[in-house]
């Protein structure tokens, strides 16, 4: 059964000893679609804070900034190696983007943010579809107390929250990693954890939340089929990995090809002091 319109709530129990028990919501990848159903879920769940892991709005029109898809691809490590695998994956992803923009009215991101910012404090990391923000966007974020974390971090209620953007700043990341106390990292790209953090001296984060890969688009026996940045049969498309990396499947279907076995989701992360194994 195709799950294009289905949104589920997925809850994980996680342990962060130095952090007060709380409920954290993870949302990502709305891509300016209407977000009323996801906002209703959040209103019912009443999280203590909300982490938005990128691509809530579409800000990637050519000519609006100095950034281009080629520049963004270099950050993501997407390199044209001439292989059939690369050409096929890029053709499928590009076709999805074109059809998505052709068939969609893209104006749902800001109304969604306004609704959920009224539910709980909202912290926003940037994704690969957010090349820039207009002055009106930034005024909107300020008016609704939305904390935009573009390679930046803040301290609030005993916890540090940072956002590693698609256009990453590794100097900032290393400085953030050295700070004391529990640390939460919003990182749109799950592959960035394995590329830039895991096994290094700055692998000090208690929780990392990601989106981007849309659950692998199709899921067969728990295995995603295609993900940007990871290619075919990607390893990291949803769920909890390394006891700290939580990947959400997102809130929209940007490709016109429907999802299969892979519903959209709002993720709830319940922080407690009881050990849970994943």
Helix H or strand E encompassing 239: strand 239-241
Q: Which two tokens mark 120?
A: 């709980």
Distant-in-sequence, close-in-space partners of 103: CB < 8 Å, separation ≥ 6: 256
Per-residue pLDDT tens over the stretch 140-160? 999 999 999 999 999 999 999
Give all domains of the chain, ordered by start, each with its CATH number.
7-272 (3.60.21.10)
For 178-235, how does the pLDDT look when each residue is reduced to its tens digit (9 = 90+)?
999 999 999 999 999 999 999 999 999 999 999 998 876 767 777 766 666 666 666 7
- What is the residue-wise DSSP string for 20-85? --EEEEEE---TT---HHHHHHHHHH--SEEEEES-SS-B--TTSSS--HHHHHHHHT------HH
The pLDDT-based confidence of 123 (bands split at 50, 70, 90) is: very high
Rounded to two decimals, the pTM is 0.88
């Amino acid at each position: 059964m195709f799950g294009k319109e289905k949104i589920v709530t997925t809850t994980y129990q996680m342990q962060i000893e130095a952090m007060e028990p709380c409920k954290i919501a993870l949302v990502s990848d709305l891509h300016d679609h209407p977000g009323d159903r996801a906002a209703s879920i959040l209103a019912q769940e009443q999280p203590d804070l909300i982490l938005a892991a990128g691509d809530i709005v579409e800000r990637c029109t050519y000519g609006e900034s100095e950034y281009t898809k080629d520049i963004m691809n270099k950050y993501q490590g997407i390199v044209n190696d001439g292989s059939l695998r690369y050409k096929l994956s890029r053709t499928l992803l590009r076709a999805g983007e074109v059809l998505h923009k052709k068939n969609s009215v893209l104006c749902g991101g800001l109304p969604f943010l306004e609704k959920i910012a009224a539910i709980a404090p909202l912290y926003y990391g940037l994704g690969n579809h957010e090349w820039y923000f207009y002055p009106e966007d930034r005024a909107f974020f300020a008016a609704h107390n939305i904390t935009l974390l573009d390679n930046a971090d803040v301290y609030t209620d005993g916890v540090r929250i940072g956002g590693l953007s698609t256009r990453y700043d590794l100097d900032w990341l290393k400085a953030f990693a050295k700070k004391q106390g529990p640390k939460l990292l919003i990182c749109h790209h799950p592959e960035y954890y394995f590329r830039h953090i895991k096994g290094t001296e700055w692998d000090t984060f208690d929780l990392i939340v990601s989106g981007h890969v849309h659950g692998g688009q199709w899921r067969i026996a728990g295995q995603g089929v295609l993900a940007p940045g990871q290619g075919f049969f990607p390893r990291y498309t949803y769920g909890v990995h390394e006891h700290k990396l939580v990947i959400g499947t997102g809130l929209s279907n940007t490709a016109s090809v429907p999802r299969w076995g892979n519903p959209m989701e709002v993720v709830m992360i319940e922080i407690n002091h009881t050990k849970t194994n994943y």
